[in-house]
Structure 1
Amino acid sequence: MSAMQADSKNPQLKTKDLEELKCWLGTQEHLPPISEEHLIMFLHSCYYDVARTMDCIETYYTIRTNIPEIFTNRDLKRIENQKMLAVLNYIQLPVRDPNGHHIIFHSLKENEPSKYCFSDAARIYFMMADMCIQRDSTSPGTIIVFDAKGFKFGHIIRLNLSLVHKILTYVQEGLPVRLKGIHVLNTAAFVDHLMRLIKPFLSKELQKLIHFHTGNNESIYEHLPKRCLPQDFGGELPTVAELNAGFIVELQQFQDYFKEEERFRVDENKRCNKRKNRNYSLSSSH
């Protein structure tokens, strides 16, 4: 049974809510066609709150349309994407935590700041996120593990804060996942500088989800058992290098999806009741 089929048996999923969303979509001519399966995905991520789901859908498509540097050119064969695959590890770990949450892992392969491009790195990160969502769109939750080893001040100065703001708005208000925790391993002094820069963009709810781990990182075991972590961190899974190699093969298998998905964007010429949205400086109709 697929995740969609399983979720259709969830008593929280009500036919009247789906019908309300479909009727609302009929009045939102600027939005692309959205399948019933994707409506269920959005409802699930918003804990079946219809009004919140409408906001999530609006933010999801509007931001993806308006930051093409992240959500276009997603062919892994492109040189800029190849460069980032050589610099960074991107992995959806092959097991879930005890609560059934997916675990996404991200770290550096190459720690030279001049080889790091934030927009290119973010593009592949959200390709990974999209693939994870498509494979299980009604997951009970997602955990992010970020290994800060090798990151330094030189990486921070390569950030575009305007783009960071838009991405964080997308993650907090438009990404259709139930984010359950963010764990930063090998926390170094640069992380304090980074947090001071991005804290104004973080909701109090998201700030509560962030956990920092230092020293031997053993405090991560209070949140994730060793069976959920790579060998590099005292875990029972294969090494980060082995897991990353396998996951990139999986990502390549989604190339047709990434190409097709770029057709689903907003048409601002058809948007009604335009008003300014302070979060991403784009029009919004909700």
Structure 2
Amino acid sequence: MSPERDGTYVCTLSPELLDQACRELGESPSRRQDDIEAIRQWLLKQPHITARLDDWTILRFLRGCKFSLERTKEKLDMFYTCRTAVPEWFKNRDPLDPKTKQILDLGILLPLPGSDALGRKVVLSRFGRYDANIYTTDDAMKAVAMIMDLMFEDEELSSVCGMMVVSDAEGTTVAHMLSFTPAMAKKAMTLWQDCYPTRPKGINYINTPPGFETIFNLFKSFMKEKMKKRVHVHGSDLESLYKQVPRDILPIEYGGTNGSVDDITRYWAKKVEDKRDWLLNDEKFCVNESKRLGKPKTSSDLFGLEGTFRKLEVD
């Protein structure tokens, strides 16, 4: 359940996790509501932003910015700006659309049940699951964004403890690699690092195919230095993976005990469908650049000119 009631935040953290939020994020329970209200009033004064104004959404961004009000304002502006600039991922998000439903049924992104012993949410990605000759990377990224948005809406632990990603590259083909253009990678990394209030603790690649280094180096070139240090490439060595991601949080197909991939896939496909109204309503939260005070922002400002990127060459 989302930690809110009628738009008002209701803390679901244990005393230990609340103490962690205070120590690591600068959260002050006595000042929390004042900080939320300060951001809400700021958003209401931005003519170009139509934003969610509930406590929980604002608190997520405050935590992601360690309660710096200025950084929170910058990230919220960036969040709504980038979402508006990438309609291929954030518009027409109807889970009943046949193509979208087919992608969701493949389970290319699966937040795993529960959290690990450190409170981190673990997310399994499997981009090799879709046929790159039938579906585009934009199709896949739209489904990914839908699931991520719903996960962040419901997960309070990850706003304090962060998340781990396990990226299983099995099934990745040359067609997949060619579809991940530099422009695509830049958009993905900008959204991940500069827009969402995530606390990424690590990215773990497994079952990496020949040619993986090309894609890996592309994404890595857009990573901040802190993130680069949190990337681990395990190949087919699951024992190496277990040193970063506890075995018991993983599905049985990966040597764990946390349910099956098929069951988790069905859970998320149904959850997204159940949240159809939320997703369709979510599209209204965006920016109108014609109303921005000062110079409007363009896709070039945010991601660079796509025309300046050369196409990938994969051996």
TM-score by length of 2: 0.81
Q: Find out whether 1:85 has 2:90 as its counterpart.
A: no
| Alignment of structure 1 residues 114-153 onto 2, 5 Å | 114-137=133-156, 138-153=159-174
Give 1:223's aligned residue.
244
Give 1:27's aligned residue.
45
| Alignment of structure 1 residues 74-113 onto 2, 5 Å | 74-108=93-127, 110=129, 112-113=131-132
Secondary structure, counterpart of 2:270 in structure 1: helix
Aligned residue type for 1:118: T
State the distance in 1 between where 2:139 and 2:193 align. Answer: 20
State the distance in 2 between where 1:111 and 1:62 align. Answer: 29
Deviating more after overlay: 216-225 vs 5-14: 5-14
CA contact (8 A) 2:51 2:286 kept: no
Secondary structure, counterpart of 2:141 in structure 1: helix
State the distance in 1 between where 2:210 and 2:199 align. Answer: 29
Give 2:204's aligned residue.
183
Q: Find out whether 1:18 has 2:39 as its counterpart.
A: no
Secondary structure, counterpart of 1:6 in structure 2: coil
Secondary structure, counterpart of 2:84 in structure 1: helix
State the distance in 2 between where 1:227 and 1:101 align. Answer: 13
Q: Moved runs in structure 1, 4+ residues, more than 6 A? A: 7-10
Secondary structure, counterpart of 1:94 in structure 2: coil
- Shift of the 195–2 alpha-carbon distance from structure 1 to 2, 3 Å rule, reads closer
Give 1:5's aligned residue.
10
In percent, how many aligned pairs have the same letter? 26
> What are structure 1's unaligned runs of at least 5 residues?
none
* Deviation digits for residues 179-202 of structure 1 (CA, Å, limit 9, x no counterpart): 111111112332201022233321
CA contact (8 A) 1:86 1:109 kept: no
Secondary structure, counterpart of 2:229 in structure 1: helix
State the distance in 2 between where 1:41 and 1:254 align. Answer: 20
Deviating more after overlay: 107-116 vs 22-31: 107-116
* Deviation digits for residues 75-120 of structure 1 (CA, Å, limit 9, x no counterpart): 1121221332354433111121111011111215746431341001
- Shift of the 22–110 alpha-carbon distance from structure 1 to 2, 3 Å rule, reads closer
Aligned residue type for 2:74: D
State the distance in 1 between where 2:45 and 2:106 align. Answer: 44
Secondary structure, counterpart of 1:54 in structure 2: helix
* Deviation digits for residues 24-67 of structure 1 (CA, Å, limit 9, x no counterpart): 32432111143141211210121212121111101110011111
Give 2:310's aligned residue.
none
RMSD across aligned positions (CA):
2.4
* Deviation digits for residues 193-225 of structure 1 (CA, Å, limit 9, x no counterpart): 102223332111221221111233211111222
CA contact (8 A) 2:49 2:288 kept: yes
| Count of equivalent residues | 282
Give 1:47's aligned residue.
66
- Out of 233, 237, 240, the residue aligned to residue 261 of structure 2 is 240
Q: Find out whether 1:280 has 2:303 as its counterpart.
A: yes
CA contact (8 A) 1:87 1:116 kept: no
TM-score by length of 1: 0.89
* Deviation digits for residues 235-282 of structure 1 (CA, Å, limit 9, x no counterpart): 112221222122211221111110110011111111012265744359
Give 1:260's aligned residue.
281
CA contact (8 A) 2:289 2:296 kept: no
State the distance in 1 between where 2:283 and 2:184 align. Answer: 19
Give 2:309's aligned residue.
none
State the distance in 1 between where 2:34 and 2:104 align. Answer: 44
Give 1:65's aligned residue.
84
Deviating more after overlay: 63-72 vs 214-223: 214-223
* Deviation digits for residues 126-149 of structure 1 (CA, Å, limit 9, x no counterpart): 111001111124352111111111
State the distance in 2 between where 1:188 and 1:218 align. Answer: 18
Give 1:202's aligned residue.
223
- Shift of the 100–194 alpha-carbon distance from structure 1 to 2, 3 Å rule, reads same
Secondary structure, counterpart of 2:204 in structure 1: strand
